[in-house]
Structure 1
Amino acid sequence: MDLSLEVLQQKLNNSSDVIYRKIYCQDELITIVGIENMIDGTKLSQYIIEPLLNYNKPISDVETLCRESILANPASEVSSIEEAFEHLSSGCVLLFFTSYTEVIHCNVAGFAKRSIDIPTSEATVKGPREGFSEDIQDNLSLIRRRLKTSDIKAEKFKLGKKSLTSCYMLYIEGTAPAEVVKYVREKIEDVAISRDYIFYSNNIEESLKAKGTAFDTVGYSEKPDICAQKISEGRIIMLVDGSSNAAIVPYFFNDSFQVTDDYTMNKYMANTARFLRFISFWAATLAPGIYIALVTHHFRLIPTILLFKLAMYRAVVPVPTIIELIIMIGFFQILREAAVRLPQPMGSTLSIIGALILGDAAVASGLASQITVVVVGITSICSYLVPKLYIAIFYWNTLIVILSALLGLPGFYTGFVMLIAHMADLNTVGYPYANPIATRSVLKYQDLIYRGTLNEIGNPIFLDKGSENE
């Protein structure tokens, strides 16, 4: 459809927030169209209206007029009605001329947006504290400010056939594997035309994630310093307008245990904290299964004194141990979800006080024994140390608990082997998810459980061509 003022007015006839301003530049009538509350009135006046009103040369063509008078950037031509709507929704104004067919758009955006703030999900003790907002241009500038290299590429896409949500794919040319860049680009292009409206980065993430797993094979972060570091390692970052999280690929199992403080604090403190995260993951995943296997099938392996105490605690509980354990795990999951959904100050209070009250009430009512509350409490606390693996921990410890309740230690071993096999089978955009674990490359990797000195940490292991499959 040809773009004209009449066509645009017909399309926007029921939109009361669209404003029309008519001015004369010499003898040429110019109509300025914009959306109220999305444009900055001061910018519009200073950069467009005043220069046009003060223009005193004969108008030869629109291009010359815009180049010599309009101060807003960019001042370029619009060719279609769809493009016009896109610019209007981005805070631009359109300039229609009576004597010329060209339509010009100028950026005078001034809509409300959240300022750069401290991210709540990735707290740090020592290091940068600024986080992404919902404005993609602000987020892009935060990353570019840290990577002052001409090799960084920012490819732009439009997601949704009607929403036209902006998306950037960022990578360093020559560092990011070319085959991964091509694969991710094709996936984004497929997602872009798959629906009319796309608003979240998760639409892209789901197209890149491994299927049938609770483990995230696509990472995410709210911190520009983390994203800049990942890009420098050869990863690919995806930003979507309206989302305060950036998607990261490739994303490995080991990445879930790394935080900013690992690289900004003392090496020994960082190694201790990282070791605790690894131990906490396995404790949260395996502890309930070991407990149910020993108590239900292999109580002879429990020391006699502890066994008598367990029997005494269990004497007042009317349900089998497996039911007791699942009920308590369910209660703690409900409590955790409630803490997340409530306002932050109230949520943190609920998570602490609620756990104490719930545990005490469960024991007092005979619904659960003290040792079960302790096991479930340890499991929950340990899962807090690795929040990015929380969902995987929940599903896998539940599966291992069920197998252990049915078969005892053989069931526990079966669940553990299934977990290891599942992780070994996963891949993230073509690379093994468990990389570099179980490869010869792990012997020279200085950033796994043990973090070497920062000067010892070289290129990420997945950039060593051919080594990941050795």
Structure 2
Amino acid sequence: MNYSINEIKLSLQSQFDNSADLSVRVFTLKSALKIQAAVITMEGLVDKEQLSQSVLNPLLTFDYGARDSAAVSVIAYSSVMASSDVIKLSSADEIVTYITSGFAVLMIDGAEELYAVGVQGYSFRGVSEPESEVVQRGSREGFTEPLRVNMSMIRRRMKTPDLKFEQMTVGTDSKTQLMICYLQSQVSLDLLNKLKNRLSGCNLETVLASGYLSDYLEDNGSGSLFSGVGISERPDTVCGKLTEGRIAIIVDGTPAVMIVPHLFVEEFQSVDDYSNRTYYAAFIRLMKYLSFFVSVFLPGLYVALAQFHPEYFPTWLLINTSESLAQTPFPVTAEVLAITVVYEIMKEAGLRIPKSLGHAVSIVGALVIGDSAVNAGIISASTLMVVATAAICGYVTSPLYPPIMMLRMLFIVVGGFTGLWGITLATAVVLIGMCAKTSLGVPYLSSLSPFSLRRMRDVFIRAGWRQLSKHTIRVQKFPETEVQDANRG
């Protein structure tokens, strides 16, 4: 159809209700027919200098002679505009999506084509080191908010045409852009199609962060505290996962990338593991597993042993623990629960308050929970030590902290009411749920259950690069995986 500037302008003003940041610049081209053109932008999202140099100045100075609107449109696209990023729009419905993403939309009155010109100029945070995935050796670059910047950081590390990006839009109101990133020779088409179908079925009005989409990517009926969607702030981590047939989802406005499928054992792996010597990497990884189990089970076991099985304590430890608990007015279960809840409250307070007050909260916490509470006989020193040890160990595997915290509370309650037998039963239930969980058809506990001897070279220990480089196992080849390697028959 032939687009009319007046109709498009009235339609946009109606949609945006005459919003002050909508700009429609109408001008007359140097033409014998006095053809009009318009550039549509959103204030604050475009670079005005770049817009003038690459779009407005060339359009206004070029002499189109006696050509009609269709010919003027073709010349403007092919010869006049100086921008390297010009996209033909398929319909007028795409105007809103592009102008709210920082593009300038050009339309020639009476022509059949609309063009989106990349002149983005909004402010954004520069590339910096991630706060949650700190490494000693390796790159200091982390993802930032703009979609295109994050794409470039992956492309710069994977210099191969095999790396593909596919764009999608989610959110009926926010119209958030995201990129599906994968290696074409490694990924399973079965897995890729399943992911696209789930994203297409997302019926959210707004998508402002990657967490909005996590529930749509989880397999139904897993019933587990653990997530089958990985989150990474480091481009080198994402690139490593792509070589195994994983798929990365880059959401515009989010400084982190989702990785699917995601496995439990990957929570204990880091970039430093592959930069250090094998013996040290194995030691650190074993420390992570030990810290995980200590953080989850230690408070519950302490409560169970103190209330139901004191005979398991060594004699000297039993005497000291009994004397300490006898001086406190509360049962050991209530005592451990109270200290755990107070610690979580203080942690949240430390995260939310201004940084200038963070030291004050730390001092108050150390005095109130540590020294004063013990001296006043409200809590015992042994209880405080157990809770503090579990809390510190929980941060060793920080991505797992939410499930660790919930499991810790569960085992404290179960251990306080049923003892070791209840903890054993609760552990079995949790393990059954984890074994039943899948991530886009891939078992969540892959390498451990179902067991894979070849995959064990990078689970509890990290084999040398000579062995790891011999053969990369794609995720669709994991034992008992439901997805098929559809792109290879």
TM range (shorter): over 0.9
Aligned to 1:269: 280
Distance 1:49 1:154, change over 3 A: same
Counterpart check, 1:206 vs 2:215: yes
> Using the alignment, how far apart are the partners of 1:163 and 1:114 within structure 2?
21
1:459 corresponding residue in structure 2: 472
Whole-Å Cα distance in 1 between the matches of residues 157 and 54 of structure 2? 31
Corresponding residue number in structure 2 for 1:369:
380
Q: Distance in 2 between matches of 1:197 and 1:4?
A: 31
Residue 223 (1) aligns with residue 227 (2)? no
For the 8 Å contact 1:187–1:204, the answer to whether it is kept is no
2:443 and 2:480 in contact (8 A); partners too: no
Aligned positions, number:
467
Q: In 2, distance between residues paired with 1:96 and 1:432? A: 51
Say whether residues 1:247 and 2:258 are aligned partners.
Answer: yes
1:305 corresponds to 2:316: yes
Q: How does 1:385-464 map to 2 (within 5 A)?
A: 385-442=396-453, 445-457=456-468, 458-460=471-473, 462-464=475-477
Give distance in 2, aligned partners of 1:15 and 1:171. Answer: 39
One-letter code aligned to 1:21: R
Return the offset for 1:304. 2.0
Mapped to 2, the partners of 1:434 and 1:117 lie a distance apart of 33
Aligned counterpart for 1:48 among listed residues 48, 55, 75: 55
Distance of aligned partners of 1:292 and 1:466 in 2 relative to their CA distance in 1, 3 Å threshold: closer
* Matched AA of 2:212: N
Q: Against the structure 1 CA distance between its residues 332 and 36, is the aligned structure 2 distance closer, same or farther, given a 3 Å change threshold?
A: same
Query: Where does structure 1 lack aligned partners over 5 or more consecutive residues?
Result: none
- Per the normalisation by structure 2, the TM-score is 0.89
Name the CA distance, whole Å, in 2 between partners of 1:182 and 1:419.
Answer: 31
Partner residue, 1:37: 44
Percentage of matched positions with identical amino acids? 28
Which stretch shifts more, 11-20 or 433-442?
A: 11-20
Q: Deviations over 1:422-448 (max 9, x none)?
A: 221211111111110144413553110
- Mapped to 2, the partners of 1:133 and 1:330 lie a distance apart of 33
Moved more, 102-111 or 128-137: 102-111
Match of 2:146 among 135, 144, 155: 135
Q: What whole-Å deviation, never above 9, does each CA across 1:269-299 have from its counterpart, x for those lacking one? A: 2211111100000011111121111110111
Distance 1:134 1:444 in 2: 34
Identify which range, 301-310 or 241-250, moves more after superposition.
301-310
Decide whether the 8 Å contact of 2:174 with 2:206 is kept in 1.
yes
Distance 1:205 1:2 in 2: 42
1:18 aligns with 2:22: yes
How does the TM-score come out when normalised to structure 1? 0.93
CA distance in 1 between counterparts of 2:476 and 2:205 reads 37
Task: Write out the 4+ residue segments of structure 1 that deviate beyond 6 Å after TM superposition.
Answer: none
Comparing 216-225 with 103-112, which one deviates more in the overlay? Answer: 103-112
Q: Report how far residue 128 of structure 1 moved.
A: 0.7
Contact 1:431 1:462 in 2 (8 A): yes
TM-superposed deviation, 1:342: 3.2
Q: Secondary structure at the match of 1:446?
A: helix
Equivalent in 350, 374, 380 of residue 339 of structure 1: 350
CA-based RMSD: 2.3
Q: Do the aligned partners of residues 356 and 414 (structure 1) sit closer, same or farther apart at CA in structure 2, a change above 3 Å counting?
A: farther
Could you tell me which amino acid in structure 1 is paired with residue 140 of structure 2? R
Asked whether the 8 Å contact 2:446–2:479 carries over to 1, the reply is no
Q: Does 1:8 align with 2:8?
A: yes
1:440-469 Cα offsets, whole Å, 9 max, x none, are: 413553110111112212424744354669
- Matched to 1:9, the amino acid is K
Distance 1:130 1:348 in 2: 28
